[in-house]
Amino acid sequence: MGDFTDDMFGAMNDEFTSQKQEKFDLYIEQKGRKYKTSVQGWQRPSKELKEILKKLKKSVCQCSGSIEEDDQGRELIILFGDQRDKVVEYLMSVEKIPEGDITVHGV
């Protein structure tokens, strides 16, 4: 019986660590004088993404934003303005994502 419990918790632990291995891509788009920052790579439920968006909008970036789906059906967080430095800092300090798992693309 001890083996079953160890196997069960081992599987749950593997699932938890694989969920934390998110790799993020930040895309900066410019149209005229306006910038848009897209954060891709979230492997979280929609409800949790909404809470993260709320934190980013209200306290980290002080900007407006939304959650959208890309062509493959993945959810992206869209923030208005060039927010790449603030988002990278948030991902590394609050979400504990290693710097090597964050890639910035664009301008």
CATH number of the domain where residue 71 is located: 3.30.780.10
* Sheet strands side by side (includes 65-69): 65-69, 75-80, 34-40, 24-31, 102-106
In a domain, 75, yes or no: yes
Q: Answer yes or no: is 36 within a domain.
A: yes
pTM over 0.85: no
Q: Say if 63 falls within a structural domain.
A: yes
Per-residue pLDDT of the chain (107 residues; tens, 9 = 90+): 555 444 444 444 444 444 457 899 999 999 999 999 999 999 999 999 999 999 999 999 999 999 999 999 899 999 999 999 999 999 999 999 999 999 999 87
pLDDT value at position 20? 54
Q: Alpha-carbon distance 107 to 104, whole Å?
A: 9
Does a structural domain hold residue 14?
no
Residue 8 tokens read as: 């069960």
Domain contains 8: no
Is residue 33 one of the residues assigned to a domain? yes
Q: What is the residue range of 60's domain?
A: 23-106
Number of independent structural domains in the chain:
1
